[in-house]
A and B are shown apart, each in its own frame.
Chain A
Amino acid sequence: MAQMIIDTANHITGYAARAARVKVVAAYPITPQTTIVEKIAEFAESGKMDVEYIRVESEHSAMVACIGAAAAGARAFTATSAHGLALMHEALHWASGSRLPIVMAVVNRAMGAPWSIWSDFSDSLSQRDTGWMQFYCADNQEVFDTVIQAYRLCEDGQVFLPAMVCLEGFILSHTYMPVKIPDQDKIDGFLPSYKSGWILDVNRPVSHANLVSPEWYMEFRYMIQSAMENAKRIIPEIDREYGKIFGFEYGGLIEKYKCEDADLILLTMGTMGSDAKIAVDQLRKEGLKVGSARVRVFRPFPVEQIRKLSEQAQMLATIDRHISFGMEGFLATETKASIFSLKDPPLVAGFIAGLGGRDVTSKTIEEIAKKSIKWMRLGRVEKETEWIDLRE
Chain B
Amino acid sequence: MSSSLKSRKEMPLTPLSSPSVGSMGKTGSWRTFRPEVDNSKCTRCTICWIYCPDAAITRQDDDSPKIDYDYCKGCGICANECPVKAITMEREEG
Contacts and interface: CB of A to CB of B under 8 A. Distances in A.
B16 A206 contact: yes
B8 A206 contact: no
B4 interface: no
Contacts of A46: none
A198 B12 contact: yes
Contact of B15 (A197, A209, A222): A209
Q: Top 3 A-B pairs ranked by shortest CB distance?
A: A99-B13, A219-B8, A207-B17
A298 to B, nearest CB: 23
Dominant SS among interface residues on chain B: loop
Contacts of B11: 216, 219-220, 223
B21 interface: no
9 contacts: A99-B13, A205-B19, A206-B16, A206-B18, A207-B17, A207-B18, A216-B11, A219-B8, A222-B8
Contact of B16 (A207, A211, A213, A216): A207
A242 interface: no
A84 interface: no
Interface of B: 1, 8, 11-19
A208 interface: yes
A223 to B, nearest CB: 6
A216 B1 contact: yes
Contact of A223 (B8, B16, B17, B18): B8
Contact of B14 (A211, A213, A220, A222): A220
A98 B14 contact: yes
A160 interface: yes
B1 A207 contact: no
A222 B12 CA distance: 12
B8 A208 contact: no
A390 interface: no
Q: Which one of A98, A213, A223 has the highest number of Cβ atoms from chain B below 10 Å of its Cβ?
A: A223
A222 to B, nearest CB: 7
Contacts of B1: 212-213, 216
A212 B13 CA distance: 13
Nearest to A219: B8
A379 to B, nearest CB: 47
A64 B9 CA distance: 29
A210 interface: yes
